[in-house]
Amino acid sequence: MTDEAHKPGPGITWVTMVRTLRTSDARRYFASNVTLDVSVLDRTSRGIKAVRAYFVVASNLYESLKFTHEIVSGARTVLEWEGKAFGREVCGITVLVRNKSGRIAKIRIYLRPLAAVHHFAAALHKGLTAKGHNH
């Protein structure tokens, strides 16, 4: 068997890391000054607490989400995904950049189509504002 046969499916490791954001284990995977840039937010989110807030709200907006491809090149991981939100098909790319210690230092998430971007932006603004996070 090749090494490919032993690799977890696309996005499995990332999903595991995101789940730790709700716990003290997050610092094992994320730099304390991690940044998050998302096509549905106006500005960069900084720090584990802000990244956690985004994923708590965003995860509730998807009806389904499946990672379809994962490419690792040095410190970068690119994940392609597709799913459903607001009754519509959505897809996107998540880019992860690790620092020298191997922790995630940058997260960039790009979503399409444009109608979904608008729906997500409005829902995230409402959800993050309700939780006391000003984005």
Question: CA–CA separation, 9 vs 96, rounded Å?
Answer: 17
Question: CA–CA separation, 94 vs 68, rounded Å?
Answer: 11
Q: Has residue 115 been placed in a domain?
A: yes
CATH, residue 107: 3.10.450.50
pLDDT band at 125 (very low <50, low <70, confident <90, very high): confident
Global pTM reads 0.87
Give the model's pLDDT for residue 1. 46
The number of folded domains in the chain is 1
Structure tokens at 61: 């907006």
Q: Has residue 50 been placed in a domain?
A: yes
Q: Has residue 49 been placed in a domain?
A: yes
**CA geometry: angle at 5 spanning 14 and 106, to 5°?**
20
Q: Which pLDDT tens digit goes with each residue over 16-67? A: 999 999 999 999 999 999 999 999 998 999 999 999 999 999 999 999 999 9
Q: Has residue 135 been placed in a domain?
A: no
Q: Has residue 23 been placed in a domain?
A: yes
Q: Has residue 96 been placed in a domain?
A: yes
Residue 3, φ and ψ in degrees, nearest 5: -60, -30
Question: Exposed/middle/buried for 23, CB within 10 Å: 0-12, 13-18, 19+?
Answer: exposed
Q: Which of 4-13, 50-59, 79-88 has the lowest mean pLDDT?
A: 4-13
Mean pLDDT, the chain, as a whole number?
A: 90
Domain that holds residue 98: 3-130
**CA geometry: angle at 18 spanning 95 and 119, to 5°?**
70
Q: DSSP string covering 37-84, please?
A: EETTSSS-EESHHHHHHHHHHHHTTEEEEEEEEEEEETTEEEEEEEEE
Q: Which of 5-19, 24-38, 74-88 has the lowest mean pLDDT?
A: 5-19
